[in-house]
Structure 1
Amino acid sequence: MAKIELKNLKKYFGNVKAVDDVSLNINDGEFVVFLGPSGCGKTTTLLMLAGIYKPTSGEILFDDQLVNEVPPKDREIGMVFQSYALYPHMTLYENIAFPLLAKKMPKDIIDKKIRDVTKNLDIGKLLDRKPNQISGGQQQRVAIARALVKEPKILLFDEPLSNLDAALRAYMRAEIKKLQHDLGITSVYVTHDQVEAMTMADRIAVFNKGKLMQFDTPNNIYNEPKNVFVAKFVGTPSMNILDVEIENLHNRIFIKIEKDILFEIEDENMKNKIEKINTKKVVMGIRPEDIKISFKKENNNSFRSKVYILEPLGREIIYNIKLGNNIFRIISDEKYDLKLEETVYLTFPKIGFHLFDKESGKNLLF
């Protein structure tokens, strides 16, 4: 297979910095997801890997070999597009065979390769059909088969599940992950869907405005976000973010949420970290599952609040609770029978929160 290295990669379209100084290493056989909103640079980076775009500057290396000037057909890559890009007048067999016919391979070898690759994708009995005679999920499998039949060293996916319905998308996520695991092909997968990224990736590269925000495991991306953008973008519901102030009163550390709402820091390790922060005004982030709801004041860090709105999701409920002028979104394993405007108490976690620099957005606790 292959390992990939990007060194100070840049791509400008006129004055627009589509990709701005991105460096990362992808290991042999790793499944990496490029995640971010539209226009963040993730697809542009993928297209540079494919050779469709040429970098403005920087280097792309496959197995330590510079490939900046290598044309797409010689990069030993397979690519799966969002649109499937199947030829409607060809049968599925002919679609899958197309890249091999272009290489003038013998027909018997082509036939064996197609039979082998379609066996794992459960489309072997459909090969005489045309694309308009099969479902979207089956079309996506054909597109994957066409990419795999070339026996590429690297597999690139450009938002391949965007056109599928929710149930089929969840099914195909598992199928693609299992297939990649079984084949061990180094894979790069672009998506704006953080659920896809979290469930599929070995590591996630989070992009925003052309820059690489964080490149880490799904667990670390979720639990140790490097900045406010990553914290807000990854997680459903997203992290509660609010402007606060750090107060040191008589050697006790508080997070001032509002004038009369002071959240005391009791954990010694956390106090030591916060004492080293040299700015008073910061941004606090708390995950929805880390705030506890109760019907009575449990301790000094329990704050009287009101139920603002409820969002039932079947298996769970998102509770929107208003504390002062802030609304916190909370999810819990417990189901509370709450009514609008009902009084409850919110208890903040001792360590399960983040503090970010208000200017740079950098996480100040890591």
Structure 2
Amino acid sequence: MKPINVLAQQIDRVEEYIATTWPVALSQARSLRSFNRKITQILIGGCGESHHAAMGLELAFGVYTGKPTRALDAMHLARYAPNLVGAQPESKLVIGISASGEVARTIEALEIWSEAGAQTLAFTTNIDSTLARVAQGSLILPAPDIPHGPGLLSYIGSLLLGYATIATMLEGMEQQRIIDLIAMMPELLREWVMTERIRSERFAQKVSQGVTVFLGSGAAHGSAHFAAAKVIEAAGERCWAQDVEEWAHLEYFCEPDEMPTVLLSSEGRSLSRELELLEAMAVLGRMVHLSKWQGGSGWSALEREMVSPLALWAGPCVYASTRATILGEKPFRDFRGGRDRKEGGGPSRIRSSQRVDMGALDQPDEGP
């Protein structure tokens, strides 16, 4: 039986999902309006695509709110970042993202930061989840009705909750501007997704060996990580993400010369370096695919870059979906090889992993 391409189903629903969900996200965030006052630093974290969403939101949170913002993976947020607590922990806002609300490391992070005295906020789809219970505040977007598989709409939902939270931390024209930017996205995506579908399907069909690297800087670095994750989840091919500048120091020296390389760009702050490295890739003979988001009419370069995570998923998801179809792969390798559907992997214990409290962080460990 031909595998159900869950990713392809979600690609077709993103425009409608943003149009219907953005007002809901705003309403959710406005209900916590008083929650976001007297914040001096923002930390955002999660695992997998939730971490990628956090990476995509870091620039927008920092620029729009003027608050120092860091996006961290959940392990770093839980067990290493608490060294940043310092004075006035109540002035720190720590956001944990998890669609299921049951990922152990993200729950642990909010437990530890709540214990330290920080303000904690959960982005999730599950109002009854452990994450929603341990956080001081929660923004909930119900899970889309789709078969189990690589997530796209849940990632978009996390981004929308992030932009909605930013909007509630602003006032006047600044607030209205970000609300309007996101509201424009469904119409802008209509033509963009159509174009990216054609170009990315062609690129996927040209690739003969599945070792692909996705590049992006700033908000697009999060998009690159999300892109690599979808290829791994959907098609099971070797794939990774890299920052644009770091590519020049590392993958530049990789074999084979024709390695498939996808550059995700919004022509933002890293544009000058992207242009230099495209020349370098041509010299090496890399098989290059450029996904370039140009935003809406009248948008500034910075606006375009800050909102780009809501667009730069398109080409990569089409690529991942097409590679999965070509290879006849089932999502997540159909949980073969000792894996299990239980808690999203079985032995990896994503949900049942032991959680520690703040007092245990500096205790000696007996080791493996």
- Pick the structure with more helix per residue: 2
- Pick the structure with more strand per residue: 1
Settle same-fold status: TM greater than 0.5: no
Normalised-by-shorter TM-score class: under 0.3
Larger Rg: 1
- When normalised by structure 2's length, the TM-score is 0.22
